[in-house]
Chain A
């Protein structure tokens, strides 16, 4: 009896111990749940703290002056504050991000926080924006976008700036034409023309544009007539290339009167040459938007890979009798009062596997259909303000310089649909702003 009782007690004790061990193992999970919940609450609070700091910094003149320069900003400005060991409790603030669109009143901030406690990790991000334009968030041409939001010095002013830089190293003026598509294409302005004008039109956020003084042998053309060249760069993520699908875009004010002595030479806006060395192809661009002064027609042109040129021509005389933007004092162009009265017009071209569409002010003005093939593959970048023709002879008139103003020049790597063209036009002229919080 005693032996049986002993065995029974040992058996029961073993079972009981097994149950307790099992329960102990499961109960040990309880702190994990508590730790995670605690950490999540803490991360939430630290995230609010970090976002509050970001907003406060974005509204601090001292902070902006130190990190971003004195407002108003030129370009779309981004800044990231990275912290190495900014601990708050069990959380770490990794970084705060700031994006400003042209001035200090239009901004978006973001905070990135992570926390760790007893092997449990959580992460948290939050964002807040105040009057930040959609144009700055998306729908930006993804191959090339020259928004001209920075004052560019050219000609004598650039020479003067270079001289000052030579005298005072470190005083260099940033004279780059910024490609805000993200590809950072290199752009060169060939001009002895005016400095790029400070024109407060062309959209609520556009302060600058490029005056193109078309023609030749002018007083300002000591080193060549005004035009810009965007070099083709195959190393960028999205190079300029004319294939089966793409779009070209720009805003412009066209001087309808033309340059004295060169009236009928107007005017090339955007020109991607097919082969500028070929007599057969020099006037057949892979893609181009250009204006014909003599008959007041706008042209949207694509040359296909079989060298067939599709050309959409539409009447375009938007300024009527108010024709000239530049007045001329001998050969010196002077911007006149018409400039303020003339509205900006937008011009767009889309090509999708044989279908060419032209747009003026966001509205489709025509469609030309060719064979369902690719456009002529170009390897010469883009020329703005004149045709890229490299054959001998033909005089300067072959370049068909542009006379007027251009802004917001861009290229997409796909064919925008009608609503996107309209959206881009409206977005530039009247950028919709947004305020939002996401935490």
Chain B
């Protein structure tokens, strides 16, 4: 009897962890796609050496002529601020995306993103949830690590997500993703 109980419980937990891991990977994949699409806007209409405003290990601020909030190209420069905020959600830390200092607010745009990535469900505009940490490193055009804002042509982003599985609160699941986002618009301008 003990063996059957143990086997059943173990099977249940293992399966639930597998399920939650897969859904987290799915969520993480979509979050990575979203961040990659966001960083791809960097430098639209901006001189390549003026694109990055702030390049910290936990925060990236860049300039673009694309209004992310309205999803349209404009005549004005915008700053996009990508960082992790703590204590803003019950669902872990969140990645906030600010445009010109303000959190994204356009529900139409968020719904567009929902369509774009299909089932990405974000509770707060511009937020990506379940985040434990986000770390940046930066590279120049020759893929050498750099801290000089004017030399940055790509960013490596390591995302770590943490989520408590149902019934397994004491044993949270962690999944990590490393994505390399290239500032293609800066490269295009360099080629002129």
Interchain nearest-CB distance for B36 vs A (Å): 10
Asked, given contacts A138-B75, A436-B185, A438-B41, whether A122 binds B22 with beta carbons under 8 Å apart, the answer is no
The residues of B with any CB-CB pair to A shorter than 8 Å are 1, 4, 8, 11-12, 15-16, 19, 22-23, 25-26, 29-30, 33, 40-41, 44-45, 65-66, 73-75, 115-119, 184-185, 188-189, 192
CB < 8 Å neighbour of A437 from B12, B25, B115, B184: B184
A89-123 residues with Cβ-Cβ distance < 8 A to B are: 120-123
Say yes or no: A435-B117 contact (C-beta < 8 A), given A33-B25, A138-B73: no
Closest residue of A by beta carbon distance from B192: A435
Find out whether the CB atom of A123 lies under 8 angstroms from the CB atom of B116. Answer: yes
Interface residues as binary, A11-31 with B (CB distance below 8 Å gives 1, 0 otherwise): 010011001001100110110
B115 touching A36 by the CB < 8 A rule?
A: no
* Contact across chains for A137 and B15 when beta carbons are under 8 A apart: no
Q: A residues within 8 A CB of B188? A: 435-437
Partner of A27, one of B19, B41, B66, B118: B19
User: Which B residues lie within 8 Å of A29 (CB)?
Assistant: 19, 23
Q: How far, in whole Å, are A30 and B24 apart by their CA atoms in the complex?
A: 11
A439 on the interface (CB 8 Å rule)? yes
From A12, A23, A123, A138, B4 is in contact (CB under 8 Å) with A12
Pairwise interchain contact B65-A434, C-beta atoms closer than 8 A:
yes
In the assembled complex, the Cα of A27 lies from the Cα of B18 at a distance in Å of: 9
Tell me the complex Cα distance, A120–B33, Å: 17
Contacts of A124 in B (CB 8 A): 116
Q: Which of B26, B33, B75, B185 has the most CB of A within 10 A?
A: B75
Task: Name the distance in Å between B65's Cβ and chain A's nearest Cβ.
Answer: 7
In angstroms, Cα B131 to Cα A242, docked, is 53
What 0/1 pattern do residues 34 to 45 of A give for CB contact below 8 A with B? Answer: 001101100000
Size of the chain A interface, CB-CB below 8 angstroms: 34
Contacts of B66 in A (CB 8 A): 436, 438
Asked whether B15 lies within 8 Å of A23 as measured between CB atoms, the reply is yes
Residues on B with C-beta less than 8 A from A37 are 26, 29
- Interface set, chain A 114-152, CB cutoff 8 A to B: 120-125, 134, 137-139
Q: Mark A214-236, 1 if CB is under 8 A from B, else 0.
A: 00000000000000000000000
A203: Cβ under 8 A from any B Cβ: no
- Contacts of A423 on B, CB cut-off 8 Å? 75
Q: Known A12-B1, A12-B4, A19-B8; judge A436-B73 contact (CB<8 A).
A: yes
Whether A26 pairs with B15 at a CB distance below 8 angstroms is yes
Chain A residue contacts of B189, Cβ below 8 A? 435
A-B contact pairs, 20 of them (CB 8 A): A12-B1, A19-B8, A19-B11, A23-B12, A26-B15, A27-B19, A33-B25, A36-B119, A40-B29, A40-B30, A40-B117, A120-B118, A123-B118, A124-B116, A137-B75, A423-B75, A436-B185, A436-B188, A437-B40, A437-B185
User: In the complex, what distance in Å separates the CA atom of A26 from the CA atom of B65?
Assistant: 45
